[in-house]
Amino acid sequence: MVITKENTIIGFIGTGLMGKSMAGHLLDAGYKLVVYNRTKEKSLELLDKGAVWVDSVLDLAKRCNLIITIIGTPKDVEEVYLGENGLMENAKQGSILVDMTTSSPKLAVKIYEEAKGKNLSALDAPVTGGDIGAKEARLTIMVGGDKETFDEILPIFGLMGKNIVYQGESGFGQHTKICNQIAMAVTLAGVCESLAYAKKSGVNPQNVIKVLETGTAGSNILKVHGHRMLTSDFAAGFYVKHLIKDLKIALVESKELGLDLEMLKHTITLYERLSERGEEYSGVQALFKLYVD
């Protein structure tokens, strides 16, 4: 179908740190929006803007023909999609299901295959860009599934992101997100160690950043999180607990591919140490605390 504001009711499940902003852009564009979240309070801003609340995934599935999810863990995704009262058993025929959670590639393929058997379409479309990218509608969106379905809802993705890349078959969006999380986490650990060295040596670390960010060591991680580290801004744009979840998915998948990723394993250990200190709801840049506290 050609998606229009007249023939589409969007269901959005997961109105947390990023989901709330993403759903808000759909409302602002004039789409009818139905929302569900385990904690209703996190949806109140959307309800004030005109979204409709439902009390369950089942109720949402029966009312909508395009359903977007961005929730917690693969276990949550499996329950929402494949549970008895989930989307797969209750979505309208012909509906499109889009999971934007960072989840398991194998689960994405399972959802895709189940959807095919029920006259539904499913895409895995995880995102990166954090809370700021979500607020500013400039997320990077990496998509796996049928190209025809991707093309169909590309205008919807365009309301939430700027860099939208079709990666190929089902599961490839999740595989790409794993690549992103490995590179991001390992780079972030390197930035922590670089700035910890700068502080210990007596060099002004802000001046170090000025040098590094324009050279071969420059990165968005350094530019954004480096400054946050030095100003003790550890507020979450992306939670430590969620990064640990993502990296453990990456570890499982890499082992199944026959890869031994030593830096990935060490970075998981660092973040687990940070979490054990009560920092699971801090931003990922709080890793710096292991080096300077």
| Known catalytic membership, residue 200 | no
Nearest of 34, 111, 39, 25 to residue 67 by alpha carbon = 34
- Interacting residues of 53 by C-beta distance below 8 A, sequence separation 6+: 34, 35, 36, 40, 43, 47
Query: What one-character-per-residue DSSP string does 64-131 give?
Result: -SEEEE--S-HHHHHHHHHSTTSHHHHSPTT-EEEE-S---HHHHHHHHHHHHTTT-EEEE--EESHH
Tokens for 166, please give them.
């079709």
Exposed/middle/buried for residue 59 (C-beta within 10 Å: 0-12, 13-18, 19+): middle
Helices 172-201 & 205-212, crossing angle to 10 degrees?
130
Which of 20, 62, 110, 177 is an active site residue? Answer: 177
Distances (CA, A) of 250 to 49, 142, 226: 37, 16, 24
Distances (CA, A) of 90 to 3, 80, 81, 119, 153: 21, 11, 9, 12, 21
List, by residue number, the catalytic residues.
Answer: 177
